[in-house]
Every structure is written in C-alpha cells, then in structure tokens.
A = this chain, B = another copy of it.
Amino acid sequence: MTDRTQPGQLLARGVSRHLASHGFVSVEEFVPARGLRVDVMGLGPRGELWVVECKSCRADFQSDSKWQGYLDWCDRYFWAVDADFPTELLPDETGLILADAWDAEIIRMGPEAKLPAPRRKVLTQKFAVHAARRLHAFRDPDFTFGV
C-alpha cells in the first residue's frame, strides 16, 4: 500500500475530491501502458479521460522525464501543484490544478486532444480493471490475487 502521507499523495487526494465535484471518478497510480504510471486518472460522465500529475515541489517536477509520454493517453492533461509551487515552470499548453490535501481547483483547463476510439476503449477497460481489483482487495482483505 502506498504511503498516503507523501506530499504528492496528499495532492492526489484533493484532486480526486475535486474531480468528483465535476462528476468524475478517479483512480491513483494508473498504468496506461507498460512503463507509464500516472498519479491520477479521471473518468468523466461522458467517458472523458483526464491525466493529472501531482508535483509537490520544483525538484519533483524537474526530475520528471516521462510526462510528455502521458499526453497520448488522455483527452486532457493537467498538473496539480500546491500554492507554493513556482507555476511559471509549467508548460503553457497543459492544464493547471491548484490543490491541497482537502480539495483543489482547476485554474487552467488542459487543451483537449481526443483519444482515438480504440485507445479509449482499451483505457476505459483498464481503468475498470484497476479500480475493481483494488476495490476487491478492500472488500475481501483475506484474498490475494494470483497476479
């Protein structure tokens, strides 16, 4: 189980709460494809898929060499940072969410780049599997998956 007191995890909590207010559900640490792991993947009421990467500080952002690889796996891409983060570092053509551990606010929408239908289908199913597998672990803690 992830340590949920890490700064990035706390931002993810606030982000997930805020996405819920937009009618989105979300999962954390979602793997859209081998070698990629996004902090928060949101699924919207019309099937929209949003990636939110949570950055707790400048170093956390600057050490991320993978984020551009996430753009092909969502309809919109966002950064989530706290109020102290130097937001001028972030690329203009990405979304921006101001977050803390309790809530968040979308400051700038990520530009929309709609997923091709076959990829959306695969991602939605992966999202379902991810969420159901983790839910199963909560509702039946004595059971362990073979994988």
Contact = CB atoms under 8 A, between A and B. Distances in A.
Given A43-B129, A129-B25, A20 B124 contact: no
Interface string A101-117: 00000000000000000
Contact of A20 (B27, B131, B134, B143): B143
Contacts of A43: 125, 128-129, 132
A58 interface: no
Nearest to A123: B128
Interface in A89-147: 121, 124-125, 127-129, 131-136, 138-140, 143, 145-146
A37 interface: no
Nearest to A135: B135
Interface of A: 4, 13, 16-17, 20-21, 25-28, 43, 47, 121, 124-125, 127-129, 131-136, 138-140, 143, 145-146
14 contacts: A13-B140, A16-B140, A16-B143, A20-B143, A25-B128, A25-B133, A28-B139, A43-B125, A43-B128, A43-B129, A124-B125, A127-B128, A131-B135, A138-B138
